Amino acid sequence: MGGAGGTGSSGATGSAPDPFAEAAAAERRAMVRRIEAVGALRDPAWRAAFAEVPRHLFVPAYYVPGPAGYERLWSGDPDPARRARWLRGAHQDTALATRVRDGELVSSASQPSLMARMLEALGPGDGHDVLEIGAGTGYNAALLGHRLGDGHVTTVDLDEEITESARAHLAAAGHRPAVLTGDGARGCRERAPYDRIVATCEMPAIPAGWLAQCRPGARILAPLSTGLILLTVRGPDHAEGRFLATSAYFVPLRGGGARPPGQRSAEPYPEVYDDEAGFLAGLAGQALEPREALTLWHHEGRPERERFGVTLRAGRQWAWLDDPEGPHAWPLPDYA
């Protein structure tokens, strides 16, 4: 991604001064207030990370919908009003399209309040090693590095252009975690074991191989369907957990863990659509047709996301409602 247009970092040795530093600091303060207003950033350590990591250095250019398709906003725009618009937009509590290829979104910067909720739910502590699947802009890795130290953070992405861009953004902000190009579905054995794994891309299932790269008691947080599953790792072939309350929409994972051929996404509902019912249909995959999923959802009292969970055990993986051994369970694709 081009168009960094003079942005640098006041914290990176030898880099040019950041011409947006003062205005960006004010925008970050406003961003933190917006995130706090929706109930996130209760942990002072994460509040400090969001307040101090210069988000604008990670989105020197992004795309917004325009009358003729995507419109590009960037830090080097010769028009001062458009530069100001870019800076304000970089700190809004919304997802940003950062990479578009042939009209298709391939990378984005996640909504800051969702990132805050995910990091707080992931709950890494001092000395923990974290693997991130999906490098994106590098901003999430910088937040993790601020909290844990860069040496405890590894981020992996399949796309070399994305990892190169993330590495440059991180360096401009004074952070140097391990940024590797590879298939995130396979994890990163050379830097294992991990205390936490977090995916920032939608997945059809949890790659079973991740579990062997975790320490006992580790947590895995990943987007499934339109939700966020938080698993506790019990051993190299056993993990279990429930979904968080929040909905979440991410760019799909590419590579070995991508949706297998023949597995369909949830079809549109033939009746009144509800986001929670859509979550169930996406989670159940081919096991339930949309009308069946909607009927079950109503029959079970319109269950909220926290009543659903996922279990990996002895080579099997399944999603469930209320009880891993209960009557409502659906197989998920297995990835070694």
* Active-site residue flag, 9: no
Closest CA to 69 of 111, 38, 100: 100
Query: Three-state SS for 97?
Result: strand
Q: How many angstroms separate the CA atoms of 282 and 288, rounded?
A: 9
Tokens of 236: 């190299």
Beta bridge partners of 70: 65
Beta bridge partners of 255: none
Judged on CB neighbours under 10 Å (0-12, 13-18, 19+), 107 is buried
> What Rg, from alpha-carbon coordinates, does the chain have?
20
Judged on CB neighbours under 10 Å (0-12, 13-18, 19+), 22 is exposed
Q: How many angstroms separate the CA atoms of 109 and 123, rounded?
A: 21
Q: 101: which residues sit within 8 A by CB, 6+ positions away?
A: none
Residue whose pair of structure tokens reads 């530069």 in the numeric block: 83
Distances in whole angstroms, Cα of residue 276 to Cα of each of 6, 178, 198, 226, 326 = 44, 37, 23, 9, 20
Closest CA to 24 of 38, 3, 8, 44: 8
Judged on CB neighbours under 10 Å (0-12, 13-18, 19+), 290 is buried
Query: Three-state SS for 225?
Result: coil
Q: How many angstroms separate the CA atoms of 124 and 130, rounded?
A: 8
Which entry of 9, 75, 107, 110 is annotated as an active-site residue?
107
Closest CA to 137 of 124, 123, 155: 155
Q: Which residues are catalytic?
A: 107
